[in-house]
A = this chain, B = another copy of it.
C-alpha cells in the first residue's frame, strides 16, 4: 500500500516540481561549446603560478561577465614549492639513474609543451639528500607495516618504495617517516595503473611506462589550504607561520616515478618474496628487501609564495539575497588537465551561461547563486579553502549548501555528501536523462546497483527504495572546507565508470586524450551541467529547503551500528589471536626456513558505552519523524506563512553547522564536523563519526568514550533544533 502511494507521488510530483524554468534550463547546455571551452582551457599547462593559469582565470571572468554575472577575481598568496633538483639513483648492486621525464608523443600536440610543464614531483615534500637501502612497502598503509613486522623487517634508516593506490598519497611518506624511513619513492604499478588495466597511451587510455602521477603530499587530513595561513584567508598581508610551524609538510623527501623508472629499483631488491597481494604487474618477482638495492634520493625545492586566482561570480537572489547556493569546480591543473579539472569546469561554465540565458529571458533566482572557479586545488584545496576562510563569517550566516564537481567522465551518475540532501539529489537524478540509454540517470544507477548487489537482501533494498544511498564525503576536492570546516551542507556530483584511464596528473591528461578516450562528444559533460544546474535551480527557488533529516538520522544510525561491530570484531579478533598464541598456532605453521614474527599478545578491548550515541540517534530519529510529519501537515494545510518559512529555512540552513564543534576533532581542530571527516591514515577515504571511530581504531578507550559524548552532543543539538522547528511549523 505504501509502495503504491509512493508510485503515485512519483508520477505526480515531478510534473509539479519540474517547473518550466528547469525544463528550459536543461535544454540550454551545449556540447559543442563545452568542447570549445575545453580546447581553450586545456590548451596549455595551467598550474598555479603559470602564465596560462592566470590567463584562464581572466578568460573565465570575462565569460561570467558576458553571461550577465557579477564576477570578480579574488587573489590569495600561498606557499608553492617547485623543484630545483630531483635525483633518484640506484647506486648498488648496479647503477641506474631514473629519467624522471615524460616524453612528448608525436600525435599528441600538447604533450610537446615541455617548457611550460611542471616537472613530475610531490608538492610539499621536504628537501633532502639521503642514501639508504631500499624496502618495498606495497601501498605503504598501516596494514602493510603490520605485514612487514610479521616478516621481521624494519624500514628504519631505509628509503621506502610504495605503489600508488589504497590511500591518499600523502599518507605514504607520513607513515614511512613515522616508521623511521629517511626517504620515500612512490610509483605507479602497471597492475593498478598501466598495461595490466588496458591498452596504454597513446594507443589506449591507460598509463604508459613513462607516465608519472604528480600530486600533493601535504598532510591534508590535518588541515587543508595554504600551509602558512591556518584558519585564515591567505591575503597578501595575512599573518603567516613558517613552513616548519605549519605542520603540513612531509618529514622526509618524497618523489613520484613512472613504472619504467621503478622497475630497475624493484628488480634489485632481494629478501623475502613479497606477499601475494603485494605483487604488481611488472614482469619480475616482487621482493621486499631491505637492499641490496641502495638508492640515492636528492630533492631541493624553491619555496615561493605566489598569487592564486579564484573567479567568483554572483547572481543576486530576488527574494533571499542573503541565502547563498554555492557551486564550484577548480580551474587549475597539474599540467594541461583536460580531464582534471577541465571536464568538470566546462559543465559549470555551461550552467552559468544557461542560467545567464534564463536571466536574460526574465527569470531571477529567489536565492543568491555563487559560482566559483577555484585555483590551487591540486596543491591542497588552496583556492577554495582560502576563500572560505576569508569569508567564513559570511558563509556561516548565508550558505545554504555547496555543490562541487571535478573531473567528469562517461557512464553512471554518482553523488556523495550530506545525507540531509539524499532524497533531494535522488529527486534531481530522476529528472535527468542518461545520454546513452535514454533512461533517467537515477534508473541507470539503480539497475547497475541491482547487478552489483552481493546478496538478495541488498538487491531487494535497491529495488524497493525510493532513494539510492549516497556516500559520505571524505576529502579530495573543494567541498572540504565547506562541509568539514564550516559545516555547510555539501554535495559532490559527477558521471563516470565506463572509461578507464591512466593519465591522472600526467602531461597526457590533455584534449587529445579526453576527446579520444573519455566523454568524447561531451554528452556526459552536458548531463553533468543539467544535473548540477537543476540542483542549483531547484534549491534556489524552493519555498521550503529540501532537507530531509530522516535520511540523515537513519544513516547516522547505521554508522553507530558499524562502530559497535568494529569494536566487537576487534575484541573477537584479539581474543582469537591470543587463543592461537596459547595453542601454539603461529609456531606450528611457521616455516623454519623463513623469518616470521608471531603477533604480540594484546589486551582484549574493553566494552565501551555506546548508549549516549544510541540515545542521541533515537532522539534524532524521533524528532526528525515528528518534524517532517508536522511540516507535511503544514504544507498540506497551507499554513506556512512567510515568517514561518523564513525561520524554517534558517533552521535548515544551519542544521549542518549544528553537527560541528568549535574545537574540532582530536589533534586536528581545523576539522570541525563530528560526523564526516577524511581518515587520519586514509586521507581521501571518509571516516564517519571520526572522533569515535579513530579512537577505537587506535585503541584509545578513554578518548572513544569522550568522543561518543561529543558526537552525541551535536546530534542532540540538531534533534533539539528539529523539536523547536517542528513545534514552530504547527
List A residues at the B interface (Cβ < 8 Å).
190, 195-200, 204, 206, 273, 279, 281-285, 287, 411, 436-437, 439, 443-444, 447-448, 450-451, 456, 459, 498, 572, 576, 580, 583-589, 591-593
28 A-B pairs with C-beta separation under 8 A: A190-B283, A195-B283, A195-B284, A196-B279, A196-B285, A197-B273, A198-B273, A198-B285, A199-B285, A199-B287, A206-B285, A281-B283, A282-B283, A411-B591, A436-B592, A437-B587, A437-B588, A443-B588, A444-B589, A448-B588, A448-B589, A450-B580, A450-B585, A451-B585, A451-B586, A451-B589, A456-B572, A456-B576
Q: Tell me whether A459 and B576 are in contact in the complex, defined as CB-CB below 8 angstroms, given that A436-B592, A444-B588, A588-B437 are known contacts.
A: yes
The reply to whether B447 and A584 form a contact with Cβ atoms under 8 Å apart is yes
Q: Select the residue from A448, A584, A589 with max chain B CB neighbours within 10 A.
A: A589
Enumerate chain B residues within 8 angstroms of A580, measured Cβ to Cβ.
450-451
Alpha-carbon separation in the docked complex, A591 to B410 (Å): 10
The reply to whether B588 and A447 form a contact with Cβ atoms under 8 Å apart is yes
- Return A235 CB to nearest CB of chain B, in Å: 48
Enumerate chain B residues within 8 angstroms of A451, measured Cβ to Cβ.
580, 585-586, 589
Alpha-carbon separation in the docked complex, A196 to B280 (Å): 9
Q: Select the residue from A190, A281, A584 with max chain B CB neighbours within 10 A.
A: A281
- Return A248 CB to nearest CB of chain B, in Å: 37
Enumerate chain B residues within 8 angstroms of A279, measured Cβ to Cβ.
196, 281
Enumerate chain B residues within 8 angstroms of A273, measured Cβ to Cβ.
197-199
Q: Tell me whether A283 and B285 are in contact in the complex, defined as CB-CB below 8 angstroms, given that A451-B589, A589-B447, A592-B436 are known contacts.
A: no
Q: A200-B285, A281-B283 are in contact. List 19 more A-B contacts (CB 8 A).
A: A190-B283, A195-B283, A196-B279, A199-B285, A199-B287, A206-B285, A279-B281, A283-B283, A411-B591, A437-B587, A437-B588, A439-B588, A444-B589, A447-B584, A450-B585, A451-B585, A451-B586, A459-B576, A498-B591
Alpha-carbon separation in the docked complex, A586 to B448 (Å): 8
Shortest Cβ distance from A594 into B: residue: B498
- Return A163 CB to nearest CB of chain B, in Å: 15
Enumerate chain B residues within 8 angstroms of A459, measured Cβ to Cβ.
576
Enumerate chain B residues within 8 angstroms of A498, measured Cβ to Cβ.
591, 593
Alpha-carbon separation in the docked complex, A450 to B459 (Å): 34
- Return A26 CB to nearest CB of chain B, in Å: 21
Enumerate chain B residues within 8 angstroms of A198, measured Cβ to Cβ.
273, 285
- Return A543 CB to nearest CB of chain B, in Å: 34
Alpha-carbon separation in the docked complex, A283 to B194 (Å): 10
Alpha-carbon separation in the docked complex, A444 to B586 (Å): 10
Shortest Cβ distance from A272 into B: residue: B198
- Return A293 CB to nearest CB of chain B, in Å: 15
- Return A448 CB to nearest CB of chain B, in Å: 5
- Return A287 CB to nearest CB of chain B, in Å: 8
- Return A98 CB to nearest CB of chain B, in Å: 19
The reply to whether A447 and B196 form a contact with Cβ atoms under 8 Å apart is no
Enumerate chain B residues within 8 angstroms of A576, measured Cβ to Cβ.
456, 459
Enumerate chain B residues within 8 angstroms of A199, measured Cβ to Cβ.
273, 285, 287
Enumerate chain B residues within 8 angstroms of A447, measured Cβ to Cβ.
583-585, 588-589
Alpha-carbon separation in the docked complex, A572 to B586 (Å): 41
Listed from nearest, the 7 A-B pairs whose CB atoms lie closest are A283-B283, A447-B588, A447-B585, A195-B285, A198-B273, A498-B591, A451-B585
The reply to whether A450 and B583 form a contact with Cβ atoms under 8 Å apart is yes
- Return A189 CB to nearest CB of chain B, in Å: 12
Alpha-carbon separation in the docked complex, A195 to B450 (Å): 39
Alpha-carbon separation in the docked complex, A204 to B417 (Å): 51
Alpha-carbon separation in the docked complex, A592 to B444 (Å): 14
Alpha-carbon separation in the docked complex, A196 to B275 (Å): 11
Enumerate chain B residues within 8 angstroms of A585, measured Cβ to Cβ.
447-448, 450-451
Enumerate chain B residues within 8 angstroms of A196, measured Cβ to Cβ.
279, 285
Enumerate chain B residues within 8 angstroms of A591, measured Cβ to Cβ.
411, 498
Alpha-carbon separation in the docked complex, A199 to B572 (Å): 37
Enumerate chain B residues within 8 angstroms of A204, measured Cβ to Cβ.
285
Enumerate chain B residues within 8 angstroms of A587, measured Cβ to Cβ.
437
- Return A463 CB to nearest CB of chain B, in Å: 8
Enumerate chain B residues within 8 angstroms of A281, measured Cβ to Cβ.
279, 281, 283
- Return A393 CB to nearest CB of chain B, in Å: 47
Alpha-carbon separation in the docked complex, A287 to B281 (Å): 15
Alpha-carbon separation in the docked complex, A498 to B589 (Å): 9
Alpha-carbon separation in the docked complex, A26 to B592 (Å): 24
- Return A445 CB to nearest CB of chain B, in Å: 9
Shortest Cβ distance from A520 into B: residue: B593
Alpha-carbon separation in the docked complex, A587 to B206 (Å): 26
- Return A589 CB to nearest CB of chain B, in Å: 5
Alpha-carbon separation in the docked complex, A204 to B593 (Å): 14
Alpha-carbon separation in the docked complex, A273 to B205 (Å): 12
Enumerate chain B residues within 8 angstroms of A206, measured Cβ to Cβ.
285
Alpha-carbon separation in the docked complex, A613 to B241 (Å): 80
Alpha-carbon separation in the docked complex, A390 to B200 (Å): 61
